[in-house]
Structure 1
Amino acid sequence: MGTRLILHGISKKRHDRPSDYLFRDISAEVGEGERVAVIGTSGQGKTTLLRILARLDRPDEGELRLHGKSADGWKPQEWRKKICYVAQQPVMLPGSVEENLQTVSRLHGTPFDRGLAERSMAALGLEGLDWSKQGGDLSGGEKQRTALVRAMLLQPDVMLLDEVTASLDPGSKRAAERLLVDWSQSGGASLVWITHDLEQAAQTSDSVWFMDEGRLMESALTAEFFRGPSTEQARRFISRPDREREEY
């Protein structure tokens, strides 16, 4: 498995206290087809880190490299064709469901893969959704699943997923997990997935990034991490109940 994305010394200062760092000196790699679970308590900057990887935000220090080339050597549009970010709160663009699904083909001048769109929507339990319905009129869960399919139609090398199943019912959540893992395994897409669900992290990822105290405390294979974290912070984190884990 070759290396696809490299983070070297990525740091970000706090907006409210520019003299302090939200996180500092994060160095890691994402391999081809690798699925990475990003975990840690709220306030560690996990979303900010993903936004930096998508070039929607800028680091204060450090460098990103994609396919061996520095981010500065990529045009932003070309970078975002390779690396796609899916937010926790889905955004539906003006227009119908079908127009939302066609966004990628319109932006990049590529054919719309209706078959892939239909199969992916069906895999997420949306086979009966009326594509002429306005995107803004969908329920929260329908918006999240449609936004996920819309991103998948870009066929990026790296998908950045920010708690994308947090608002879904259990059945839809499992369907999304299966679809994403199958898609990664069959097509080689890399996934970097923020989640507070440790069961999800254990079942869907190859490796884990654990963030705490403004640092990347651990980067380990998933089985090794859950068998025995190397830091006391991670041991406390995985031993706490869900609500306490998010707050501590």
Structure 2
Amino acid sequence: MTVLLSIQQIAKRRFDAPDRYLFEQVTAEVTGGQRIAVLGVSGQGKSTLLRILARLDVPDEGKLLLQGTDSATWKPEEWRSRVSYVAQQAIMLPGSVEDNLRTVSLLHGRPFDRPLAEQCMAALGLGDMDWKKPAAELSGGEKQRTALIRSLLLRPQALLLDEVTASLDPGSKLAVERELNAWARREGTACLWITHDLEQARQVSDTVWFMSGGRLLEQADTQSFFHDPQTEAARQFLPEPSAGRGRH
């Protein structure tokens, strides 16, 4: 499989203590269609790492390549059309739902793919929504799904998903998981999920990145990680039954 993103010795210092690292020596590769769950306790810098991959933040050390080309040679807008970050707290732009859906077309000079927008809205349980409704009046869960669809309309090569189902009810959460799994297969899009829901991690990933102690401590296929974690930190992180299986 062709390498899409190459992460080489990335490091980020703590904002509140610049003499200390939030994380360091992060090296990994992301291939097309790969589904990665980014796991670890809070405070490990998972969101910061995804924001660096989206070029919404900058590393203090290391290199980042997209399709073999250093990030420094990419125009930011071209990079972000290929690597799209979806934040946990969705931000709606002024105007209607339709205005928000059309934003990516306007920003990147592309025709608006209305059939795809309608397909995505239906798949995520928003098929009956009035597109003329002010986006500011949407519920938290509606905003989150609309923001996700806004990114999908870019047809990015990588989706960086920062707890994108945290505000969703169980039915909507399942719809998002199913649609993004299908999208990754159909479009070849890599999906990197930050999630604290370990059952979700099992459902949406084929690979786990586990961060602990300021390092990307484990990179493993999902089944192996949950059944046979290789580090004590991962065994402590997982629920006892899963960790126990790894020690037998």
Same fold (TM over 0.5): yes
Aligned to 2:24: 24
Q: Report SS of the residue matched to 2:63.
A: strand
Runs of 4+ in 1 over 3 A off after TM superposition: none
Measured against aligned partners, the alpha-carbon deviations of 1:96-136 in whole angstroms (never above 9, x if no partner) come to 00000000111111111111111111111111111001111
User: Partner letter of residue 15 of structure 1?
Assistant: F
Aligned length: 241
Residues 1:93 and 2:93 are matched in the alignment: yes
State the shift of 1:91 in Å: 0.2
Alpha-carbon RMSD across the aligned residues, in angstroms, is 0.9
Residues 1:164 and 2:147 are matched in the alignment: no
Aligned to 1:154: 154
Cα distance between partner residues in 1 of 2:152 and 2:168:
18
Identity over aligned residues, as a percent? 61
State the shift of 1:2 in Å: 1.3
TM-score by length of 2: 0.96
Aligned to 2:244: none
Aligned to 1:61: 61
Measured against aligned partners, the alpha-carbon deviations of 1:128-175 in whole angstroms (never above 9, x if no partner) come to 111001111100000000000000000000000000001100000000
Residues 1:112 and 2:148 are matched in the alignment: no
State the shift of 1:203 in Å: 1.2
Aligned to 1:207: 207
Aligned to 1:245: none
Residues 1:39 and 2:39 are matched in the alignment: yes
Cα distance between partner residues in 2 of 1:2 and 1:180:
20
Cα distance between partner residues in 2 of 1:82 and 1:109:
14
Residues 1:136 and 2:149 are matched in the alignment: no
State the shift of 1:209 in Å: 0.2
Cα distance between partner residues in 2 of 1:223 and 1:186:
23
Aligned to 1:121: 121
State the shift of 1:240 in Å: 5.8
Cα distance between partner residues in 2 of 1:88 and 1:60:
24
Q: Report SS of the residue matched to 1:173.
A: helix
Cα distance between partner residues in 2 of 1:89 and 1:213:
26
Cα distance between partner residues in 2 of 1:30 and 1:198:
21
Cα distance between partner residues in 1 of 2:108 and 2:64:
24
Structure 1 stretches lacking a partner, 5+ long = 242-248
Residues 1:10 and 2:10 are matched in the alignment: yes
State the shift of 1:239 in Å: 1.6
User: Partner letter of residue 98 of structure 1?
Assistant: E
Cα distance between partner residues in 2 of 1:97 and 1:105:
14
TM-score by length of 1: 0.96
Cα distance between partner residues in 1 of 2:42 and 2:116:
35
